[in-house]
Amino acid sequence: KTNQQWGGRFSESMDGLILQFNASVDFDQRLAMQDIAGSRAHATMLAAQGILTPAELSDIDTGLTQIQQSIHDGTFEWSTELEDVHMNIEARLTELIGLAGKKLHTGRSRNDQVATDIRLYLRGAIDTLRMDLGYLMQAIVDLADQETDTIMPGFTHLQSAQPVTFGHHLLAWFEMLKRDASRLTDCRERLNQCPLGAAALAGTSYPINRQQTADLLGFDTVCANSLDAVSDRDFAIEFCSAASILAMHLSRMAEEMIIWNSQQFQFVDLPDRFCTGSSIMPQKKNPDIAELVRGKTGRVYGNLMTLLTLMKSQPLAYNKDNQEDKTPLFDSIDTVSACVQAFAGMIPHIRANRDAMKLAAKNGYATATDLADYLVKKGVAFRDAHEVVGKAVAMAIRENCALDELDLAALQTHSSMIESDVYDILRVEGSVKSRNHVGGTAPEQVSAAVNAAKVFLTEM
């Protein structure tokens, strides 16, 4: 038997491996609800234009409702012979309602149909992802709120650099995710144009009303060029790109949590239910969930590369290559959504070991810059101050103590400008407190930033 949708021209049909090779129904049935929504809108427009009768529209509506129900129930019978989600649904519709089912595809092609379905699907996925991202950002802000004056070493080159507050560090994560959310918003805005009406590639000779279909589906506007409408998938690439940047950010967060949770750092305790044990080493508590978030970044990057390569050199307009867009797109959606949800669940239960953090900040000579700045304020040139402090640090290393544990006489052997008030700035508390400007690490600034972040989230 030849495929019923185009049997007319064909004398033999696909079978076996090739049938399977050509089909996409295994993975594109995910688009079923969007496909049905698109069909309803298309049929409604056709009826409004007098291309379908009201009775035909009503049959189509009834049939689609029934199909929708059976897909929800899991009783719909998907067939590889019918290739993809679009033809499976259309064939079933005709089975159910007869002639009107055969008329649904008037003025439409699977090319504009699939382009519409993916846009609708991705639009919904972005909305859900942005919401989940909002929960993650909320979790970060809440933790930052508890840790506005918790002192830890800030790092460059993963070497103790200057003391910062843990809340400040967490709010750096917040800023990263804020930009990710805004990239998703941009992507949604650009994709929200309706391809329907482009038909196969050139448009259609029926007196259609594209704006009506677009309005019914919640699109902002119609795609302005029919060739572009059916062929480009840059919106999917854009999403996968935003998803890659998001995954990159999540992997940096993951890496930090893994380091902080290690026995060598012990800055944080990750919640047990986000960790696993070892089958051989009884003492182990491994940060598997964070490691997986870090590891999954690879496939998200891979999906972006897949789509970029898929689209490269494709001549206008539609080519079957485009059927390959779905698996990578869906995988990026699923993967970053799962990662975001995992961290949104984990972060509220992270316990900060404030003593360990503070001790690390003290032991790392993290206030050396503060001592240099102190000398500069007393009239020493910065380069000379740098030299003096370097010697003081070397002395502290020799004595195996922190800078603020050297007594005044010892400090004064390096510079006579050093006086007893030096201890205010040598203490890590004084150091963070002094960085009191917008974007700085002073607890006062962190509290203000937490408040601003909370306001941002109520509007996100």
- For ligand ARG, the binding residues (CB under 6 A) are 24, 28, 84, 110-111, 114, 318, 320, 322-323
Q: Give the residue with the Cβ less far from ligand ARG, 323 or 431.
A: 323
Smallest separation, CB 6 to ligand ARG (Å): 10
Rounded CA separation 140/348 (Å): 7
Smallest separation, CB 23 to ligand ARG (Å): 8
Q: Give the residue with the Cβ less far from ligand ARG, 150 or 322.
A: 322
Query: What H or E segment, with its residue span, contains residue 163?
Result: strand 159-165
What's the half-sphere exposure (Cβ side, CA atoms, 13 Å) at 48? 13
Rounded CA separation 448/433 (Å): 14
Q: Which of 11, 157, 205, 279 is catalytic?
A: 157
Q: Give the residue with the Cβ less far from ligand ARG, 310 or 388.
A: 310
Other C-beta atoms closer than 10 Å to the C-beta of 156 total 8
79 in catalytic set = no
How far lies 327's CA from each of 28, 299, 403, in Å? 8, 12, 57
Smallest separation, CB 201 to ligand ARG (Å): 9
Smallest separation, CB 108 to ligand ARG (Å): 11
Rounded CA separation 458/451 (Å): 11
Q: Which two tokens stand for residue 43?
A: 């049929």
Smallest separation, CB 322 to ligand ARG (Å): 5
Rounded CA separation 341/320 (Å): 34
Rounded CA separation 268/254 (Å): 13
User: In the 8-state DSSP scheme, what is residue 276?
Assistant: B
Q: Give the residue with the Cβ less far from ligand ARG, 159 or 313.
A: 313
Q: Give the residue with the Cβ less far from ligand ARG, 116 or 138.
A: 116
How far lies 227's CA from each of 197, 218, 316, 430, in Å? 11, 22, 7, 64
Rounded CA separation 149/166 (Å): 7
Sign of the dihedral defined by the CA atoms of residues 396, 399, 402, 408, in that order: negative
Smallest separation, CB 123 to ligand ARG (Å): 17
157 in catalytic set = yes
Q: Give the residue with the Cβ less far from ligand ARG, 309 or 413.
A: 309
Active site residues: 157, 278
